[in-house]
Amino acid sequence: MANAVDKVNTIAIASIEAINTRTDANIQALNGKEFTGVTDARVLLQQEVDFTGETTVCFDTSGSYPPDYDVFMFQFINIHSNTNDVQFRFASSVADDYNWAVYWNMHQEEDGTDGAHEYVDAHDTLLNANTPYATIAYKMGSVGDESLSGYLTMFGLHEEVPRQQSKVWISKTSHHAEDNYHRYTQNSGRIIHDGDNSNDSVDQIDFSMSSGTFDGTIRLFGMKLS
């Protein structure tokens, strides 16, 4: 018969008390290391569940959250357009904000042919365009299985965060497009407040299609300051 376990990492089993019922303040050390708790917790801040027929879905990223959060992450789950061949996009709610972005796409036909990856300058967002809209994915279809999932991560949206005149963001999505291609898209850029690179906060992010309405789920998570 195997010997019974009486120690874990040199600590006697009899000396180990419950952890699940302890708060951080109760736990002094684990394996000789001080335990201070997790500081980078991801917290659900706002949730839109199963919205249908919306032209715009808006999320509050205002000063109600800082200084606790310096990173925001939007999750997209089965985003579906009710209009064929449109772009899924996002914008700051301030019409005078600039968005500057560079867009990449990888795709493959349903039968496995015509696979490619490419830089798509047609969906870049130019700094001098004076428009806040940036494309997350293009060729969104209106058929039932032509939906999109993925995420958008945004960094330093608030003036309280040092050196954040530039509000940087990255999006990655996967979707079945209206042209029967599976498309993986990646876009990245930055929002520039009023086009003058000021340190003012970005207080709201709006999602929409370039035309028509859409359905799906979008969740907003905040990442706490380390």
For 32, residues 6+ apart whose C-beta sits below 8 A from its C-beta are none
CA–CA gap between residue 213 and residue 80 (Å, rounded): 9
Q: What's the pLDDT at 68?
A: 64
**What pLDDT does residue 99 have?**
80
Split the chain (226 residues) into runs of 10 and give each run's mean pLDDT: 58 59 52 50 76 92 67 94 94 80 76 66 62 86 91 82 71 90 88 70 89 95 75
pLDDT at position 85:
93
Question: What is the CATH architecture assignment of 42-224?
Answer: Sandwich (2.60)
Q: Do residues 33 and 27 lie in contact, with contact meaning Cβ atoms separated by under 8 Å?
A: no
Cis peptide before 66 (omega within 30 of 0): no
The pLDDT score that the predictor gives to residue 69 is: 76
What pLDDT is attached to residue 212? 96
Question: Domain ranges in the chain?
Answer: 42-224
